[in-house]
Amino acid sequence: MPSLKDLAKECGVSVATVSKALNDQPDIAQATRERIHAAARRMGYLPNAAARALKTNRTYNLGVLFVDEKQSGLTHEYFSAVLDSFKVEAEKRGYDITFINHNISGRSMSYLEHCHYRGVDGVVIACVNFYDPQVVELVNGDVPVVTIDHVFNNRMAILSDNVVGTKALVQQAWACGHRRIAFIHGEKTSVTENRIAGFYQACEELGLEIPEEYVRDGVMLGCISADVPRKIDEAHCLHCGNCLRICPVKAVEKLSV
């Protein structure tokens, strides 16, 4: 692979001029920049990531912490779309992505240690038990983090308004004529708690009485859990979280709603 020196020799300029031109520094003439860029493309020159990291103190590598206990992986109904959008935007800005874990080549390490090992510039915490001591250590560490749908006092977070969103869905079901509305939710998280709160708030505002059996724990893999009682077959509508979108159809088949 050609080096900066090779490129400088090809263009008849100094290494410093090549470096500035490739980084589009304003003190290099436009014609010179274009000539150097053209030569770089022709010669197949690519910047050395390690050298760039030493110079800029940035690795252009972002970490993603995604721990799904249900093992749905990147087919996760909700987070797959979130991570895909993140990937597209990161690539546009020249970043690589590393999935953070705590087992590297058989060696156990914490999430924070893995971030230091890979030298990531920051981490997106997308799906995880936020009360896990290792997650708390990461959030309180020296690596910039952004959390999704969970708030830590000293970190940036991206939040969905799960209360308002769930209330809107219940109100829509009510507007369609449904009066016996059940809620089958996913695993117990702060997101689920907010959705349940929104469900009960909407039902109270609409004057709907909700039996205890109408709010049940489902399975994140798209099928209804075995512990959902037969009583729920009285409901006209099964209202589910966004990770259970497939659930209503299978529930209808299973319970003959």
pLDDT of amino acid 66 = 87
pLDDT of amino acid 246 = 41
63 burial (CB, 10 Å; 0-12 / 13-18 / 19+) is: buried
Is the model's pLDDT at 255 over the cut of 60?
no
Task: Pick the more confident residue, 4 or 223.
Answer: 4
What confidence category does residue 64 fall into, taking pLDDT thresholds of 50, 70 and 90? very high
Looking at the whole model, is its pTM more than 0.75? no
195-247 per-position pLDDT tens digit? 899 999 999 999 988 888 888 876 544 444 444 445 555 555 555 555 444 44
Average pLDDT of 111-136? Answer: 90
**Contact 70/187 with Cβ under 8 angstroms?**
yes
In DSSP notation, 134-146 reads: HHHHHHTSSS-EE
166-188 per-position pLDDT tens digit? 899 899 989 988 888 888 887 77
Q: Reduced to 3 states, what is the DSSP secondary structure of residue 205?
A: helix
Q: What's the whole-number average pLDDT of the chain?
A: 80
What confidence category does residue 162 fall into, taking pLDDT thresholds of 50, 70 and 90? confident
232 burial (CB, 10 Å; 0-12 / 13-18 / 19+) is: buried
Long-range contacts of 32-38 (CB under 8 A, 24+ apart): 35/11, 36/7, 36/11
77 burial (CB, 10 Å; 0-12 / 13-18 / 19+) is: middle
Rounded CA gap, 133 and 229, in Å? 36
pLDDT of amino acid 224 = 47
pLDDT of amino acid 69 = 65
In DSSP notation, 7-51 reads: HHHHHTS-HHHHHHHHTT-TTS-HHHHHHHHHHHHHHT----HHH
Is the model's pLDDT at 132 over the cut of 70?
yes
What confidence category does residue 88 fall into, taking pLDDT thresholds of 50, 70 and 90? very high
pLDDT of amino acid 62 = 95
**Contact 172/166 with Cβ under 8 angstroms?**
no
Is the model's pLDDT at 39 over the cut of 80?
yes
**Contact 184/210 with Cβ under 8 angstroms?**
no
pLDDT of amino acid 223 = 46
The values of phi and psi at residue 170, to 5°, are -65, -45
